[in-house]
Amino acid sequence: MFSSALKSISSTNITANYSISSTQTSSAGPWKIYDCKKKSTGKPYSVFVFDKKALDSHGNTLGRSSAPAFKRATEEVVERLKKEASSLARLRHPSVLELVEPVEETRGGGLQFVTEAVTASLASLLQDKDDQERSGGVGGRSSRYVTEDSDGVRRRRELEIDELEIQKGLLQISKALEFLHENAGLVHGNLTPDAILINAKSDWKISGLAFCGPSEGSSKATSFQPINLSEILDLDPRLPKFVQLNIDYTSPDFVLDNNFTSFADMFSLGLLAVALYNSPHKSPLEAHGSLSSYKRLFSSSSTTPSVSNGYLSSRPLPKELSTHVLPRLITRRPAQRLTAKEFQESEFFNNVLVSTIRFLDAFPAKTPNEKAQFMRGLVKVLPSFPKSVMEKKLMPALLEEMKDKDLIALILKNVFTIVDLLPAARRVFAELVRPSLKATFAPPPKKDQLPERDPAKDAGLMVVLEHMSTICSNCNGKEFTDDILPVVYAAIEAPTPAVVDAALKGLPSILPVLDFSTIKNELFPVIAAVFSKTSSLAIKVRGCQAFVVLCGGTNDGQDDGLDAFGAAKKKPSSSSSMLDKYTMQEKIIPLIKVIKTKEPAVMMAAQGVLRVVGEAADADFVAIDILPILWHMSLGPLLNLKQFQSFMDLIKKLSKRVEDEQSKKLQELSGTNGSTAAPNDDFLGFGGVSGTTFDQSNGGAEDDFESLVKGKATRSSTSDAFPSWDEAPAAATVSSPGTTRSATPKTPAFSWSTPSPTHTTTSSSSQIGVAKPQPGFRTVTPDLDTSTTPDSSQFVHQLVNGSDNFKPVVFLDSLYARLLIRQPHVATLELRFWWNEFIHVKHVAWWAKAELVAAVIFIFLATTASQQADRIFRVIRL
């Protein structure tokens, strides 16, 4: 159909500058309507096409003798249709269809012109509704109900005509009639559903001006030619009905009185109102194109629409319409009819929803205070509006007012409310809202240009950030990255702290729609830069919470930064919404480490970051980098007891993790080397001695324990090779070459100790027996009844006087012996005792000082690295 309709117009200006769809959108009388886009701008419009062949096909049934007369009739139709298109160019009003490209003739004799984008004519919309009702639901012809998007997706077209839509439409048509009657001095003459077009914003526009002319008795100057009623009422059966006057909607003023006045349009408006509620949606006057039938209808009260017969409507009419409006429209006397302006002020439009639309239509003329007050109240009544009105009427009207910076915040609150209420929110957001947000808040292209502080714009940006979850749910990843993410970056880098805070707070909603590369390489650097530069404590806290989210944690219950304990918890998250371990360890932890403030809010927020990173980082990184930071922060002077305890709990938890992983690693390593550490091994088993002398593989037996504690332990062959250092040289028995050392070990003898008895049955309370441990044991429990410190008078006196009885090696050996049979801190206590004795004695010998320093070095090394102490002690002893 499309190829035949446009076959002869391929060389016109319209077809050269517009891309015309191949699918017919709707029809309006003789015009077929197609969607089109201007090639230079891509903006959508509609093209109206009249194919002259439609007239020729209707006249093929006539005889050859009537051909010349039919040709003249068709020429008159073409001229009348030209007049209709050209009239639109002369009449400019919001409720009159806007002409974009003037009418053009085609080589085949057809006509075409371009107008604003329209969805359908009211006639085709009512026909679709009738088809739906006859089919019992949403069925009907699919070609009428399904449209194809620019991306090829086919969706069902909404055909909703509810009470509010009818009220709004009739109100807009009455405004157009007021303009024609009062300002232009014209009469429409053929007000039918085919003469009303519905645009993309769901506004009703008047068209079909083929029979428009000046009103009788009008004194207004006009370029329109007067209408000859006798000519237009002479219905030609050779022509289609859609190119002639539709007498079903005609006033009796034309047919019965031969008066062409503006009151006739008001009668037609009343019939149109009844048709909107009727089922099927037809005029209550059905003359079937016959003037005699029309006159017959008005000859009887039963066939004339009136209050008594319900205006011949098959369905009940609204009370306000049937009681207050229709009696003053559908009346035989023109003087009793309402004017267009009076019709607008009738009780039929006296409700808050219609009043809201009327206020919005007159919005540019309102004062700033009235505009702001309207926007604040609109959000309360939006749920009462039909979905189609919100999508097609309210949403576009609100977005058009975004140019007023003072209203941006108030407008956006209503916009997001509408998005949440619409079932087709994703499509509406993509087509209308997202481009508007990008145009309003996108940062300037110059990177070196600092953002200017604009309070009104910041307020609007705050609303956008507060509704980030709504935005993300109506965008895919590419759409968000291209249009919304630059707005988020601008908010994070904004000079207003409240905007930055709102941007970081919306991070949990943003991450699921972004890929890992965008998060790591684009989003994280922006957040890190702001975190490192800001001096605001609130931004520091919010930045730490952002890091927690980036690392896969949550901030539930952590609003003020003072309750971070247990707040930053790890939750299962996809790899696309969290940073990798390298970025956590090498990028985030350095930022936390250089925090200088000691404010509890920041410290607790930083603890949340360290908690999440500590669970993901390597154990050695936790021990070397994270735990020192935690210890440093835990000692903050401003923390309270609860906050300090939270730090301690985290330190213990992470330390336990480090201990467990390191122990497991060492156990695996020991298993690989073929040796297993005994559970009671002393950490002071020095180097190779512990591996040979004290290892259970050296042949000890369980029954040797009794001999061990009684001082009768048998020395192994290994201990012969490495004599124990706890044996004093004076008391040790050295065997000659080739002989075996005595199996009975000598008890170490010290200058201050009582000599050991010769019997070995029981241990004296005053002696300390040191023997080589048996399997499973590395130390010997000392006799706790014995004093842990020697008598100072025995040793200090010799040390000060330089007596030959003092043996330095004996002093060191005694310390080492006590180190073997006690924990290191016991030997440290003894050393501290001797130090206190020395500082009270004058003229201490130099070699005594040297012995004391050597003992200090030994104790230090013995408590830090046992093998190192072993080597140092060998050197000192020599």
DSSP code per residue over 315-354: SPPPHHIIIIIGGGTS-S-GGGSPPHHHHHTSGGG-SHHH
Cα–Cα distance for residue pair 750/811, rounded to 1 Å: 8
Structure tokens, 489:
């970056």
pLDDT at 470: 94
Residues paired with residue 33 on neighbouring β-strands, in sequence order = 26, 48
Report pLDDT for 817. 59
* Cα–Cα distance, 647 to 631 (Å, whole number): 8
Residues 336/342/344/349 CA torsion (nearest 10 deg) = -70
Torsions phi, psi for 545 (to 5 deg) = -65, -35
Put the strands of the sheet holding 111-116 in their side by side order. Answer: 18-28, 31-38, 44-50, 111-116, 99-105
Residue type for 577, please?
A: S
Residue with tokens 């600092």: 450
Angle between helices 524-533 and 485-492 (to 10 degrees): 10
Question: How far apart are alpha carbons 80 and 210 in whole angstroms?
Answer: 6
Q: Which helix (H) or strand (E) holds 856?
A: helix 846-864
d(CA 509, CA 488): 12
Given a contact cutoff of 8 angstroms between Cβ atoms, the answer to whether 30 and 54 are in contact is: yes
Edge to edge, the sheet with strand 204-206 lists: 118-121, 196-199, 204-206
- Of 543, 702, 564, the C-alpha closest to 634 is 564
Hey, which residues does 19 pair with through a beta bridge? 37
Cβ-Cβ contacts under 8 Å for 329 (sequence gap 6 or more): 266, 267, 269, 270, 273, 337, 338, 343
Spatial CA neighbour of 9 closest among 52, 56, 72, 71: 52
Query: Which residue's structure tokens are 């429409």?
Result: 188
- pLDDT for 73 equals 83
Element (H, E) at 180: none
| Alpha-carbon gap, residue 254 to 8, rounded angstroms | 38
- Mean pLDDT of successive 10-residue segments in the chain (878 residues)? 49 86 92 94 94 72 62 86 91 94 85 94 92 66 45 50 90 96 94 94 92 88 88 86 92 93 96 94 92 92 92 93 94 94 94 92 92 95 92 91 93 96 93 92 68 83 94 92 92 92 92 92 94 92 94 67 44 61 94 93 95 93 94 93 95 94 90 57 46 46 62 48 43 41 46 46 40 43 46 47 49 58 57 59 59 65 56 54
Judge whether 746 and 723 are in contact, CB under 8 Å: no
Task: Write the CA distances from 289 to 4, 79, 241, 259, 299, integer angstroms.
Answer: 29, 22, 8, 20, 17
CA pair distance 706, 704, nearest whole angstrom: 5
Q: How many other CB atoms are there within 10 angstroms of residue 94's CB atom?
A: 12
All domains of the chain in start order, with CATH: 2-349 (1.10.510.10), 792-877 (no CATH)
Q: Which single residue is written with the structure tokens 């309270």?
A: 640
Helix, strand or coil, per DSSP, at residue 28:
strand
Distance CA 527, CA 775 (A): 60
User: For the chain, how are helix, strand and coil distributed in percent, rounded to 5?
Assistant: 55, 5, 35
